[in-house]
Structure 1
Amino acid sequence: MDRRLFLAAAAAAAAATSAHAQEAAPAAQPAAPPQPAPKPPVRVAVETPLGRIVIALHTKEAPITTANFLRYVDQKRYDGATFFRASRAPGAPEYGLIQGGVQGDPKRVLPPIAHEPTTKTGLRHVSGAVSIARNAPGTATSDFFILIGDAPGLDANPEAAGDNQGFAAFGTVVEGMDVAQKILALPTPGKAINPVMKGQIIDPPLKIISARRVP
C-alpha cells in the first residue's frame, strides 16, 4: 500500500476509537515538478586584433534585429568588415560609442529590416548595449554600435518631435568591454562622408577578423 494511503487509513482508524478525536487531515499533495532551466542566451564573439568582444543577444525582446545580426554572423558577412567609427563624448573621451559593419558593401549587405523601437522591446541604451545603426526607421542593415556609457537619448521617445523612434538595441556586451574602450581610443583622422561623423572615423579602421556564435 502507498505510504501516504497507509498513514491516512491509520489516522482514520485512530479517530474511530476515540469520541474526541479530530477528523484526519487530507494527504499532502505531491510537489510540483521542477521547472526547466531557462535557455542560455545566444552569444556571438567578435574577434579583432585588439581582442574579443562577446555579445549576448536579446532574441526574445528583439527577434527581428537579432535574427538579422545572426544572418550576417552565420553567413560570415562580418568577416573582414571593420570597426570604422569611434564617437567620443565631448569633455569625456572615455565615454561614447564604437561602430562596425560592412558599410553598405553591395557584396555583403542584406536587405533592410523593420525597426524595433525600445518602447516595444523594453531594452535600453545603457553602457554595454549593442544597437543597430540606421538612417530612417526601416533602413537598418549590417552596421551596429556598442555603447561605452549610458545614452538614454538613443531610446525611442514618443513625446519628442520628428523622428522619435530611437535606435533598436538588441544585445549586451558580456565580455570585452575593455576591448571596446581600446577601440574607442583609436585615432580618428579619417574623412567622414556623413557630416555627423566628422572627427569620428577611425583611420586605419580596425578589422573584424571573425564573428561567430559561441556557447
Structure 2
Amino acid sequence: MFRTSPVAQTSAPQSGVGSHPVVVIETSAGSITIELFKEQAPVSVENFLRYARDGFYAGTIFHRVVPGYVIQGGGFTEDLAEKPTRPPIQNEATNGLSNRRGTVAMARTRVLRSGTSQFFINLADNRSLDHTGYAPDEFGYAVFGRVTEGMDVVDRIGASPTSDRGGMPNVPVTAVVITRVTVKP
C-alpha cells in the first residue's frame, strides 16, 4: 500500500490563531486535536470535515497500527466491518506537505484516486510516503493536517499490541474506538 522511495518535501505550514479548521478525535485511548490545512489540501479537508459532521467516524476503530510508522483508522467498525463511504476524492499529494511525525494524511489503496474516509497519523518522519513524481509508485499520500495536542495518545495507540484478525494484519488486540470527531468552532 505504501511506497518506499525517499523524497524531500516542505514542512507543514505555520499555524495562526483561527487560520485553520480544528477537529478533536475522541477515542477510547484519549483525545487527539488536529489542525487541518484547508489552503494546501482543500478537497481532503472538506472530505474529512463532511465525514466528521455526519458522525461517520463514531464507532470506527484504528484498525492498522504499525509501531514507528503509522496508525490508520476511519473505515472499519470494531467487528472489522467496512463502513460504506462516499466516492473517492482527488489525491492532493502534490500539495508540497511532507509525511512527517504527527501529520495526518489520506489513506488509499494502490489506486491513486481511492481515498475516502480512512486517514493515518504518522508516528515518524515517513518521507517515503511523500509525492516524488507522477508514476503510481511515486505519487504519494496527501497530508491534510497535523496533531497539535494528544501526540502522547497517538504514541500510546502506536505501541498497542497487534495481531492478524479477519484477514487484516496489524489490528490492535484491544480495539481503539473513535467515539466521535468534533469540529471546533
TM-score normalised by the shorter chain: which range applies?
0.7 to 0.9
For 1:167 and 1:64, how far apart are their aligned partners in 2?
13
User: What's the CA shift string for 1:154-210, capped at 9, x where partnerless?
Assistant: 001118x6421110110000000000011011110132635xxx3x11123211010
SS of match in other structure, 2:122: strand
Provide the residue aligned with 2:83 in structure 1.
105
Shift of 1:38: 6.9
Output the CA distance in 1 between the equivalents of 2:17 and 2:59.
34
Structure 2 equivalent of residue 45 of structure 1: 24
* CA displacement, residues 22-60 of structure 1 (integer Å, 9 cap, x when unaligned): xxxxxxxxxxxxxxx874310000001211000000000
Q: Percent identity?
A: 36
Query: Cα offset for 1:75?
Result: 0.4
1:92-171 counterparts in 2 under 5 A? 95-103=68-76, 104-106=82-84, 109-117=85-93, 120-135=94-109, 136-158=111-133, 162-171=136-145
Deviation for aligned residue 1:105: 1.2
Question: Number of residue pairs matched?
Answer: 164
Contact kept in structure 2, 1:84 and 1:203, CA below 8 Å: no
* Dislocated runs of 4+, deviation >3 Å: none
Match of 2:12 in 1: none
Q: 1:181 aligns with which of 117, 135, 155?
A: 155
Q: Name stretches of at least 5 consecutive residues in structure 2 with no aligned partner.
A: 1-15, 77-81
Within a 5 Å distance, the mapping from 1:23-102 to structure 2 comes to 39-88=18-67, 95-102=68-75
Give distance in 1, aligned partners of 2:136 and 2:24.
Answer: 36
TM-score, with length taken from structure 1: 0.71
TM-score by length of 2: 0.82
Cα contact 2:55–2:181 (8 A) shared by 1: yes
Distance across 1 between alignment mates of 2:123 and 2:107:
16
Question: For the structure 1 residues 175 and 38, does the alpha-carbon distance in structure 2 shift closer, same or farther, using more than 3 Å as the test?
Answer: closer
Gaps of 5+ in 1: 1-36, 89-94
Q: How large is the RMSD of aligned CA atoms in angstroms?
A: 1.8
Separation of aligned partners in 2, 1:210 and 1:142 = 14
Are the counterparts in 1 of residues 112 and 136 from structure 2 also a CA contact under 8 Å? Answer: no
More helix by proportion, 1 or 2?
1
Take 1:99 and 1:44, find their aligned partners in 2: how far apart are those partners? 17
Match of 1:190, SS state, is: strand
State the partner residue of 1:33.
none
Structure 1 position 208 matched with structure 2 position 178 = yes
